[in-house]
Each structure stands twice: as C-alpha cells, then as structure tokens.
Amino acid sequence: MSFTVAAAQYPIERHDRWDSYVSKITGWVSYAARRGSKLAVFPEYGSMELASLDAETMGDLEGSLRFVASMAPHVDALHMELAREFGLHILAASIPVLRDGHYRNAARLFTPSGAVGVQEKLVMTRFEREHWGVHSGGPLRLFETELGRIGVLICYDSEFPLLGRALVEAGAELILVPSCTDSMAGYNRVKIGAMARALEGQCYTVQSPTVGMAQWSPAVDENHGAAAVYGPPDLGFPDDGVVVSGEVDASQWAFADIDLRRVAKVRRGGAVFNMAHWGEQPGAVPLPPVERVFL
C-alpha cells in the first residue's frame, strides 16, 4: 500500500464565529486533498482555538476547556463530512472530551466511509495533570484501515517506548504523533520520541504540531515545531530517517509519500532487526494491551 500523507503545521488563530473555523478547516483539508493526500494529520489541541468563540471564558484555563469540550460534537460532524466529501482519512486535532466526570484528550480518526476511531492520550504532562485537570485516558488502540494498520501516540505518549512497542507488536505500520509544545525543547522531545519509535518499530511515524502565538489563550498561548515524517534509517529509507520535514514554526502542510511495502521490506531484510530483537534486551517486560479497531 502506498499513498500521500499530509502533516499539518497548524497555526492557532482566533475566530469570531463558527463559520470562520469551518472555512479554515475546510480550506486545509481541501488543499491536502488537491495535493493527492489520502491521510491528513492535524495536531494535538489544535481545537483549542475554538475557545476564542466565547469571549467570556477564552482567557480562563478551566472555562476554555469546558467550552471547547462542548463544541466536540460539532467539530466531529464537520470532520466526518469533510472525510466523506474529499475521500481521505483525517486525524482531527485532538480535543478535550468529558467522560466519566473527567476531561480526556482525544484524537479521532475519520474515514471516508463514515467510521471513526478514537485514541485518548494515556500519559499526561505536568501542565495537564497539575494545572489543567486533564486526565489519562485509554485504551491504546490499533486502527485497521484501508490505508494500513495505524496507531496514534499523542504528543507526550510518543516519549514512552513501551506504548510504541505495543502498537508495533499489534501490527502497526504507521504511528501518528499529533503534538502541541510551547518551546523548541518540548518540540524536540516529541521529535526525538517519534524518531525513536520509527527506529525501534521499523515503521513510519508522522508528527504534526501546533504553531504560532495566541496570547489570548492560557492553554495554547505559544506553539513551536515542524511537521515531519520519519522512518528507520535503513534499507529503503533516508540515511537520517527523515522522510520530510517542514520549516520550523511556519504555517504549512508537509507532504510525503508513504509506502508500507518498505516497512515490510526493512523488517524482513534490513541491516538491523530492531523490531525482531526487542525481546533480547535485559529487562524486556510485558507490554500494555492494545485494542484492535476495524475502520
């Protein structure tokens, strides 16, 4: 299976009405589709720009969380329609959702057929757990799609190798890493995590960050990063493992051709067998369970 993936460097912007947000997302998806993309990946917490629709709460951390969570059904309906209209899979920007009395950070994978897969963030950052009240979710899921076997590790989750390894052992060929980081150090931590997961799992990883300044928001006020697609630096992949990388902090798509046959080839005949040799590490431990979802 081969296809084009579009990874967003998505700017956080203010909106004075819902139609403004609809126009923005539609424009981004439309452009990705015109470039031949079959998968469009948006970042973590890109949805928080919707807090600007409510002037009373947009400057309040808890209030913005509550308001944006209330918009989730509308956001999902929009992405479902866009996936169907443009005939591509869309990993929508993650959004806070209220479940069991707690807010969770949820990414949703929309398909052209109307199916939806949800992956909640598992490991919370200090900001999420100490200041924002966003709680750990789950379970870890592998999505069986017509494009291939896809996993999602939201931002900080990509920095934990057992999560990536669990997805790979479940069959993941491609791992999506939506991110939101307020410093270059934070961006580089996620970047290094995404590259390491590609190396260990001998698979593709796709990072999509938020970019830009939004001083009106206490949640996503400063955003840095570059979208990229990574692979193992081995047979059929670039020597540095970087398939494509965008211009840091620019507002843009980064496009790359994904060929999952290369994943099978490098796992079968690469110079090294990181995936196969994982269990030879001293102290290798049982992995988190993975729920398989057919989309």
What's the chain's length in residues?
A: 295
Residue 95: beta bridge partners? 106
Neighbours of 170 (CB within 10 A): 19
The pLDDT-based confidence of 294 (bands split at 50, 70, 90) is very high
pLDDT in tens, 178-229: 999 999 999 999 999 999 999 999 999 999 999 999 999 999 999 999 999 9
Q: Per-residue pLDDT tens for 129-182?
A: 999 999 999 999 999 999 999 999 999 999 999 999 999 999 999 999 999 999
Average pLDDT over residues 264-283: 95
Q: Which two tokens stand for residue 213?
A: 């300044």
The whole-number average pLDDT for the span 105-109 is 98
Determine the Cα–Cα distance for residues 194 and 221; give it in Å rounded to an integer: 24
> How, if at all, do strands 228-230 and 204-213 pair?
antiparallel
pLDDT for 70: 97
Residue 254 CA to its chain's centroid (Å): 14
Q: For position 285, what pLDDT does the model report? A: 82
Q: 172 in the Ramachandran plot: left (φ > 0), alpha (ψ -120 to 50) or beta? A: beta
221 CB contacts (<8 Å, ≥6 apart)?
182, 213, 214, 215
Specify the pLDDT at position 1. 78
Q: How far apart are CA 115 and CA 119, in angstroms?
A: 14
For the cut 90, the answer to whether the pLDDT of residue 83 exceeds it is: yes
Separation between Cα atoms, residue 145 and residue 172, nearest integer Å: 11
pLDDT over threshold 90, residue 58: no
Per-residue pLDDT tens digits for 116-132: 999 999 999 999 999 99
Closest CA to 198 of 244, 250, 147, 146: 244
Query: For residue 218, what are the CA distances in angstroms to 8, 57, 120, 148?
Result: 22, 11, 22, 37
DSSP state for residue 287 in the 8-state scheme? P
Three-class secondary structure of residue 289 per DSSP: coil
Q: Check residue 78 and give its pLDDT.
A: 98
Q: Using the CB atoms, write b or e for 134-163: b if 16+ within 10 Å.
A: bbebeebbbbebebbbbbbbbbbbbbbeeb
DSSP bridge partners of 171: none
Does an H or E element contain 162, and which?
helix 161-170
What is the C-alpha R_g of the chain?
18
Residues 264-291, mean pLDDT to the nearest whole number: 93
Q: Region 87-101: what's the mean pLDDT?
A: 97
**In the chain, what are the domains?**
2-294 (3.60.110.10)
HSE of 104 in the Cβ direction (CA atoms, 13 Å)? 18
Q: Which phi and psi (to 5°) does residue 240 adopt?
A: -100, 0
Listed residue (198, 213, 201, 182) closest to 256, CA to CA: 198
